[in-house]
Structure 1
Amino acid sequence: MSGHMSPEEFRKFGRQVVDWIADYYAGVEEHPVRSRVPPGEIRAQLPAHPPERGESFERVLSDLDAVLMPGVTHWQHPNFFAYFPANATGPAILGDLLSSGLGVQGMVWATSPACTELETVVVDWMAELLGLPEHFRTDAVGGGVIQDSASSAALVACLAALQRESGGGIASQGITRRHPLYISAHTHSSLERAARMVGVGADNLRVVDVDPDTLGMDPKHLDALIVEDLAAGAVPTLACATIGTTSTTAIDPVREVGEVCRARGVWLHVDAAYAGVAAVCPELRWINDGVAEFADSYCTNAHKWLLTNFDCSLLWMADRQPMIDALSILPEYLRNPATASGEVIDYRDWQVPLGRRFRALKLWSVLRWYGAAGLRTHIRTTVGLAQEFADWVRDDPRFAVLEPHPLGLVCFRPLFPELSIDEANDRTYRLMESLNDSGQLYLTHTKVDGRTLLRFAVGSPQTERRHVLAAWQRIQGALG
């Protein structure tokens, strides 16, 4: 094969690819959830050198089946209960295909007005669906943007916070003083990475105590650390409150943390990467208590629980100016009348990379297909399944459930009263690995107070009650 793929060839092979994906979803349950291949097996089956001449697309699809599929861990499997959900659905996949087909580079409004303006619409729609404050809207002082991940959102928030706390000098002069950031032991590691990348340094991360019952950040200890740093001549810069920590979905008391940040002049970033989308359900909007009054930035991932395939992370700013001041550079080759007019948003100033894909298309497709009612049904269904699972675990005296668990994640552990903590942890981990090796389900683990817990995350649209029940029966059976 040589030359470019013609429209007719694309039509032919595109149909084959869509059929392949449809067949994959129809039969995904037949695969072992976690890949069983040893390290290096996939690479050993691939040529060491690139092809000199082009090959047919049929051969590409053939190697996908024969070589790559055994090495795939099936995140869309109904028995995937590990990490957090990373949902991909038909409307999102088709929206992503349209984005790829258009091939838009949406770095500024002028490079494709539809790319920018559709994004402003969908982030405003999402703010409304989640009950977020009016000043987060793009037609207000703040605004929203689609990032690739919550890690990038945290990095942008740190840059904006540094810009504001320095009085606007960071972008031109760099960091000249110590700028502590405040997290808890359960804050996502992306905040430490952001501290490293912006030049704050990991040693300037201050770890705030948590409430032993809720695992939420202790506002009094946060205030004490800030006062201590101020006395030492530092510039306290940003605190991260988490709504739904990765480890256990603990929820920091945003209102109380926000009151401390407001009083001390510290930027409050709210990381709701997993849990924030639950607020599409009015009965779950309590998770965002304090966000409207105190959050300077807020992030949640549509690509986890909201039926939109990776990557699609939503970041809102209460005031976008510090972010733009930190990130905006206008070389001559990007100058254009629309930017000069000040009437448009140039999203290149809202993210770390210059270039950006037309991500809004897939989120728009999901919102149009499901509507608010469909999104609420999905969240409520998966929360209900998780709560039923927790009831089953609680009713078995051989297990203990970590409380609270208000959303789609349940953390639990088998009880080994005759063993030391270390021995019990080892047994728990080996139990998990035996279940994962079976290929029938996939769990991950965490540690709280030195004890290993199993994490059971429900969130896939493929997961039904029968899958959750079967998983619990396998867990019980593995314990003996």
Structure 2
Amino acid sequence: MTHSLDPEDAAGFRRAAHELLDACLDRLEGARDHPWQPVPGSVKAGYRLDGDDTGQGEAALARRLASDVLPHGTGNTHPRFFGWVHGTGLASGLLSEMVAATMNANLGGRDHGAVYIERAVIDWARGVFGFPEGASGVLVTGTSQATVIALAAARVCALGPQMRRTGQGAVRLTAYAGTGAHNAVKKALELLGIGADNLRAIPETDRGMDPVALRAAIAADRAAGARPFAVIGTAGSVGLGRFDDLRALADIARDEGLWLHVDGAFGAWARLAGDPWQGLVAGIERADSLACDFHKWMYVPYDCGLVLIRDETAHRAAFAARPSYLEGQDRGLAGGDPWFCDYGTDLSRGNRALRVWSALVAYGPERLGAAIADNCARAAQMGALVRADPHMRPMAPVISNLCVFTADARLSPEAQGDLNTRIAQELQLSGEAVFSTVTIDGITALRAAIANHRTRAEDVAQAIAAVARARDAG
């Protein structure tokens, strides 16, 4: 009797796998025909793992994956999915995920091909963002995890490596970010024990964080006995798509002796988009650390984020720890130093880099950058359609790929919010378009984040027409 979990019927497994691959290819090719829809109750009930629902074999699994799982995603592959900044996937990702699953490599360390692919991806990104030779990086789940890693390195840089043993004691560290900064910054400070109360929310204009208010907040904290340690700039805010003036922030960080971290979850990739959008991230090359996501504006499959850190010594000082069973060797599989487990929180790490490497091999940075630029153009188009409607009104300038507006500015703020919420829900349920909502100046507004390489001009026109119809239908 064998206890192997490999397929008992290899030929049958091959047939089932090919059928499932065809189903995946059909779904990918027909993304335009599959908007989000609620998961039926019978399907939800079928997900339970009890009774006869387990131990069915690979062929039955393949059938269930095709019928019960594949059709019920968030709809973010659809070209009129504008809710939140969701990645949309690439055909190259289907290929890379097959290979990654087959290899099942652990990228915590050791000497094997996937490690060198991750180094190549980091080197490429370092060049894109103008970080110096010798800067370090590691691929992570996303910008939330990247922010924790970057601010952990910033703290060690501020207090010294001994704080990993002793903690930060009575030192009250303070950090600074714009009011529109992502909640990941607050969470990172909470997780690191610095505390959310020590994050200063700096007022913003349409150009991002106010430099004068930032300098005043730093001075006030120093006078109160706190120790400022980090400025967190934003390249593409989650609510309105704002970009901080990174050059101005870099000057302040230099003058004040602070670490400059940039949250570039999606907006950092404007660097590839050409004029005028690449100018939004001018100065990003001066950051001490950068967090961004490949799974957003680089379109690769979830999850895949990146943290870059200018000073490799500071990065390693915050995380390196090798018990004897992980001791490196000069030859064999235990070689391959440096190991990525010394640059983050994870020893067990999946092959995220293969998704990025495959996208770059298949499409190249020029095509990816052109898709990013087109997303910005589509947002500008949506803004123009909103302005052309006699009753709609933009709630903020369209800076990159976000358009935020109200469907009927004639109404009271409360009534506008109720209408916009109703429209968002109705269009989601009808499959016509997915908008999210965000509260601006007391009004719950419709928000479109265009981050799909499949979105065309006609999709934007259809979506705004659907908003108008839903509004006028009352």
TM-score (norm 1): 0.91
Range that drifts further, 280-289 or 248-257:
280-289
Matches for 1:144-293 after TM superposition, within 5 Å: 144-176=137-169, 177-211=171-205, 214=206, 216-283=208-275, 284-293=277-286
Contact 1:280 1:375 in 2 (8 A): yes
Is it true that 1:56 corresponds to 2:57 in the alignment? yes
Q: Does the residue aligned with 2:139 lie in a helix, a strand or coil?
A: strand
Is it true that 1:74 corresponds to 2:83 in the alignment? no
Is it true that 1:390 corresponds to 2:390 in the alignment? no
Contact 1:2 1:53 in 2 (8 A): no
Q: Does the residue aligned with 1:183 lie in a helix, a strand or coil?
A: strand
Q: Equivalent residue for 2:443?
A: 451
Is it true that 1:380 corresponds to 2:373 in the alignment? yes
Contact 1:96 1:359 in 2 (8 A): no
Q: Equivalent residue for 2:113?
A: 114
Distance 1:381 1:416, change over 3 A: closer
Distance 2:24 2:365 in 1: 26
Distance 1:8 1:261 in 2: 62
Range that drifts further, 400-409 or 332-341:
332-341
Cα drift, residue 217 of structure 1: 0.9
Is it true that 1:87 corresponds to 2:88 in the alignment? yes
Distance 1:9 1:359, change over 3 A: farther
Contact 1:36 1:70 in 2 (8 A): no
| Count of aligned positions | 466
Distance 1:281 1:463, change over 3 A: closer
1:304 partner amino acid: K
Cα drift, residue 459 of structure 1: 2.4
Distance 1:63 1:318, change over 3 A: same
Q: Where does the alignment leave 5 or more consecutive residues of structure 2 unmatched?
A: none
Q: Equivalent residue for 2:466?
A: 474
Contact 1:115 1:358 in 2 (8 A): yes
Distance 1:50 1:169, change over 3 A: farther
1:209 partner amino acid: P
Contact 1:339 1:346 in 2 (8 A): no
Cα drift, residue 79 of structure 1: 1.7
Matches for 1:16-35 after TM superposition, within 5 Å: 16-31=19-34, 33-35=35-37
Range that drifts further, 359-368 or 458-467:
458-467
Cα drift, residue 43 of structure 1: 3.8
Distance 2:11 2:100 in 1: 20
Matches for 1:299-378 after TM superposition, within 5 Å: 299-338=291-330, 344-378=337-371
Distance 1:475 1:43 in 2: 30
Distance 1:11 1:70 in 2: 22
Contact 2:393 2:409 in 1 (8 A): no
1:462 partner amino acid: R
Q: Equivalent residue for 1:133?
A: 130
Distance 1:91 1:37, change over 3 A: closer
Q: Does the residue aligned with 2:360 lie in a helix, a strand or coil?
A: helix
Contact 2:289 2:307 in 1 (8 A): yes
Q: Deviations over 1:130-168 (max 9, x none)?
A: 3x2241xxxx33123211100011000110011011022
Contact 1:258 1:290 in 2 (8 A): yes
Cα drift, residue 343 of structure 1: 8.0
Q: Does the residue aligned with 1:36 lie in a helix, a strand or coil?
A: coil
Cα drift, residue 69 of structure 1: 5.3
Q: Does the residue aligned with 1:303 lie in a helix, a strand or coil?
A: coil
Cα drift, residue 342 of structure 1: 10
Distance 1:62 1:118, change over 3 A: closer
Q: Equivalent residue for 2:38?
A: 36
Distance 1:248 1:52 in 2: 45
1:104 partner amino acid: A
Cα drift, residue 350 of structure 1: 1.5
2:237 partner amino acid: T
Q: Does the residue aligned with 1:304 lie in a helix, a strand or coil?
A: coil
Distance 2:176 2:168 in 1: 17
Q: Equivalent residue for 1:464?
A: 456
Cα drift, residue 70 of structure 1: 6.2
Contact 1:87 1:306 in 2 (8 A): no
Distance 2:380 2:308 in 1: 30
Contact 1:239 1:261 in 2 (8 A): yes
Cα drift, residue 227 of structure 1: 1.2
Distance 2:49 2:358 in 1: 40
Contact 1:170 1:326 in 2 (8 A): no
Q: Does the residue aligned with 2:86 lie in a helix, a strand or coil?
A: coil
Cα drift, residue 102 of structure 1: 0.5
Matches for 1:2-17 after TM superposition, within 5 Å: 3-5=5-7, 8-17=11-20
Q: Where does the alignment leave 5 or more consecutive residues of structure 1 unmatched?
A: none
